[in-house]
């Protein structure tokens, strides 16, 4: 059964911010390619989100936070999400080099 994928405002802002950074520092083409790739990766969560492991910070936050990695080194991004039987909730999209999430980040 396919889940409905909901991308929270913070995650949308993360995607926008990263695409803008790429646009400023590289090119519009790079930014568009990255944006398309991250959106495609997020959409794969509609099928089998349970395939993804728990995020490192899941126990600290007390939630079943999962992570899907997208990209190639050094540009690997963490798509952080929770899910239930019907929905996948994407909370954040962060570069793998960024600090772990805290309660304030969710």
Domain ranges of the chain: 4-97
Radius of gyration of the chain (CA): 14
Enclosing H/E stretch for 68 = strand 66-70
Task: Give the integer Cα–Cα distance in Å for 89 and 106.
Answer: 11
Residue 100: how many other CB atoms lie within 10 Å: 14
Per the CB < 8 A criterion, the answer to whether 64 and 82 are in contact is yes
pLDDT in tens, 45-101: 999 999 999 999 999 898 999 999 998 887 899 999 999 999 999 999 998 888 777
Instruction: Read off the pLDDT band of 17 (50, 70, 90).
Output: very high
What per-residue confidence (pLDDT) applies to 1? 67
| Confidence (pLDDT) at 8 | 97
Q: What's the token pair of residue 39?
A: 């959106």
Report residue 86: phi and psi, to 5°: -115, -35
> pLDDT at residue 4 above 90?
yes
- Domain 4-97 belongs to what topology? YaeB-like fold (3.30.2310)
Residue 79 three-state SS:
strand
């Amino acid at each position: 059964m396919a889940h409905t994928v909901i991308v929270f405002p913070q995650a949308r802002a993360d995607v926008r911010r990263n695409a803008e950074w790429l646009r400023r520092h590289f090119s519009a083409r790079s930014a568009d390619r990255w944006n398309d790739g991250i959106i495609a990766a997020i959409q794969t969560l509609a099928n089998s989100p349970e395939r993804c492991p728990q995020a490192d910070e899941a126990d600290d936050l007390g939630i079943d936070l999962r992570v899907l990695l997208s990209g190639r080194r050094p540009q690997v991004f963490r798509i952080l999400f929770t899910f239930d039987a019907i929905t996948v909730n994407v909370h954040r999209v962060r570069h793998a080099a960024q600090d772990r999430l805290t309660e304030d980040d969710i």
